[in-house]
Structure 1
Amino acid sequence: MSRVFQTLAPALTRRMGLAAVAGGVMLACSPAPAANPEDGAEAARAQSATRGLDAAMVERGLVEARGLDRLHAVIIARHGAVLVEERLRGPGLDTPVNIKSASKSVLSALTGIAIGRGVLEGVDQPVAPVLAADLPVAPDPRLSDLTVGHLLSMRAGLGRTSGDQYGRWVTSPNWVRHALARPFEDEPGGRMIYSTGTSHLMSAVLTRASGRSTHALAVDWLGEPLGIRIPPWPQDPQGVYFGGNDMLMSPRDLLRFGELYRLDGEIDGRRILPEGWVEESWRSRGVSPWSGNGYGYGWFARRSGVHDIHFAWGYGGQMLFIVPSLDLTVVMISDPNPHPRAESHLPALHALMDRDIIPAAVRGAEAGG
């Protein structure tokens, strides 16, 4: 069971950069015994509602979450205050874990910063000149039409390197050249073709244009200003950090990254993302052929009732949800290598949002929280 609104240590509050609410937060720990359990539960529900979440609804969701064997951790923040932290199993909340393809959302943030700093010209910048050294022999002329925006929105038109093509791609001697040599399945700027190789091309563009590794940029442009830890992650044979997969971030640090987006790129009085980048990133430019969700610049989008949800999605259930209308940020971390390999519990994570967490925030808002 979770204790409702135990006071958060001031040091943790400073590290997270989140506003502490009067009376504290909800943390995953054993509750102190109450003289009258019914009175204690009622008081907890009333206190929770005034701080932004309906405690009974949240607890119902946590009961469901504890029954999901693949789910490792849940963190919920509202109005910038951490209200729920629960480690169900697996690594601790401060331990960097593989966020899988949620890395694509981080890569999008780095791209926006690169544009803001003049390292890249903008989303309409052609990428072929930057990647000239890795263009295949007799390149398809359409490669010259590829832009930064096409890579970020998965509308490069190039054949997939994900799915059944993934193994062949990551065992190739040059990942960038292999991705650029894939046959075109649509014109650049056409339909969404989800491919991690397309994101890797964006990592290579950042590396070539800046003269620095993607990891160095992540540490300098996100890690330092956000106060989060971003350890090195795998590189391709040429030393380009894997674009769009295998980044490492702790659940608490992933929440901090999500708060940056909830706050429109400015946090602790410091602008980190260019003005307007969050809105541009969240605007859907394509539609996933599998889920039907919209896709912008590294972010998926869907609706839950009247509320827009923008989310980063990593294989196995590494999820970062942001609901702007409710000032809600939610992290869910799962087993990154489920057996059998499947996204079978992903619908359950979306159901937790739709059935429990969002209604809890709505009820909290109705109660004045």
Structure 2
Amino acid sequence: MNLSSISAAIQPLQLRSCLINREGHLVLEHYRNTQVADQIAKTNSCTKSFLSALICIAFDLGMLPPPDTRIRTFFPHLDADSDERKREITLRHLLTMSGGWNWTEFGEHNSFPRMTRSRDWVRFALEQPMVDRPGDRMEYNSGGSQLLSAILFQAAGMPTARFAEENLFGPLGIETYRWELDPQGIHTGGFGLWLRPTDMMKFGLLYLQQGAWNGRQLISQERLKESVHPAIDVEAPNRGCYAWHWWTDVYTGERDTSFEFFYARGYGGQFIYVIPSLETVVVLTDDKRKRDRPPAEVFRLYIAPHL
């Protein structure tokens, strides 16, 4: 790893933060200013990967039925829906964003903004018309993430954030956070979690360590491995594949060097990259306005070549 080259490459970008942990050591810790380290900030859709971890924990604890259980178990009124395809949607389909709804996050249907303006987000997500058979195609859908948070609330008998405190945040030592709510008081599944960069790093390290933290197995190795394994192809302009609310990809550099990685991705430059073969975790955060923001591919362009 060429740390001097990485530092030189990211300096002009004025990122909010860039943290790199290699083989258990924090080898690079860059902040735009000294206040950033202790401030929580929006992780945006990185929230989805945290929710994925909580769902995996609930599976391990037996609080949730198997991944191929149909979600009508939790939303019985789907049995009366006129489109029989809705009755086939499973927890796995929600996790891989392949539920089949006619959903466009932004643009065209503008589904996400419409959901957040609705009085009942869960109802809005469930009532959207279908366009595909479940499992056929991945379509990015924060409504499905909201359904997962609602399902976890039902299954665990407690709010998603409290379940996180008991089973994830507490063990990781994440004490300072904020998590937004929908109008029904359900924690937002697709966004809304605010964290410090160092706590995002802890989460990445948990996955690098195959679910273990300080001698305790928070997520079973088998479940974690399945949750970050490429599950379904994504469509351009996205790259790679999608797993259980994680993105997966392969980096190929000069002289045919390459490595596989999986990552959490949030709007505006929030990322947690896990590269198992290099025993490396990279955290990037930003908060600039769109016109001042660096390229979305900061990791691929400025960091990966030097790893």
Under a length normalisation based on structure 1, what TM-score does the superposition of the two structures give? 0.77
CA drift of 1:354 comes to 2.2
In structure 1, the gaps of 5 or more residues are 1-52, 359-369
CA drift of 1:139 comes to 4.9
Q: How does 1:202-213 map to 2 (within 5 A)?
A: 202-213=148-159
Which residue of the other structure, out of 311, 315, 318, is the alignment partner of 2:267?
315
Q: How does 1:121-270 map to 2 (within 5 A)?
A: 121-132=65-76, 135=78, 138-160=81-103, 162-163=105-106, 164-229=110-175, 231-270=177-216
Which residue matches 2:244?
A: 297
CA drift of 1:125 comes to 1.5
Cα distance in 2 between the residues matched to 1:188 and 1:91: 45
Is 1:277 aligned to 2:223, yes or no? Answer: yes
CA drift of 1:138 comes to 3.7
In structure 2, the gaps of 5 or more residues are 253-257
CA drift of 1:129 comes to 2.1
Moved over 4 A (4+): none
1:72 counterpart letter in structure 2: R
- Structure 1 residues 187 and 257, CA gap change in structure 2 (3 angstroms): same
CA drift of 1:84 comes to 0.9
Cα distance in 2 between the residues matched to 1:293 and 1:90: 35
Cα distance in 2 between the residues matched to 1:251 and 1:77: 12
Which residue of the other structure, out of 68, 89, 103, is the alignment partner of 2:13?
68
Cα distance in 2 between the residues matched to 1:154 and 1:344: 28
Cα distance in 1 between the residues matched to 2:177 and 2:18: 22
- Structure 1 residues 62 and 136, CA gap change in structure 2 (3 angstroms): farther
Under a length normalisation based on structure 2, what TM-score does the superposition of the two structures give? 0.91
Using the TM superposition, name which of 89-98 and 113-122 deviates more. Answer: 89-98
Which residue matches 2:4?
A: 59
Instruction: Give the conservation status (yes or no) of the 8 Å contact 1:146–1:156.
Output: yes
Instruction: Give the conservation status (yes or no) of the 8 Å contact 2:48–2:145.
Output: yes
Cα distance in 2 between the residues matched to 1:279 and 1:61: 29
CA drift of 1:91 comes to 4.7
Paired residues in the alignment total: 298
Task: Tell me how large the CA RMSD over aligned residues is.
Answer: 1.9
SS at match of 1:237: coil
CA drift of 1:187 comes to 0.8
Instruction: Give the conservation status (yes or no) of the 8 Å contact 1:74–1:87.
Output: yes
1:308 counterpart letter in structure 2: E
CA drift of 1:64 comes to 2.0
Which residue matches 2:296?
A: 346
Deviations 1:266-310 (A, max 9, x none): 121100002312210111111221212211001111111221011
CA drift of 1:319 comes to 0.6
Instruction: Give the conservation status (yes or no) of the 8 Å contact 2:71–2:89.
Output: yes
Using the TM superposition, name which of 91-100 and 205-214 deviates more. Answer: 91-100
Cα distance in 2 between the residues matched to 1:92 and 1:344: 18
CA drift of 1:188 comes to 0.7
Which residue matches 1:99?
A: 43
Instruction: Give the conservation status (yes or no) of the 8 Å contact 2:268–2:290.
Output: no
Higher-Rg structure is 1
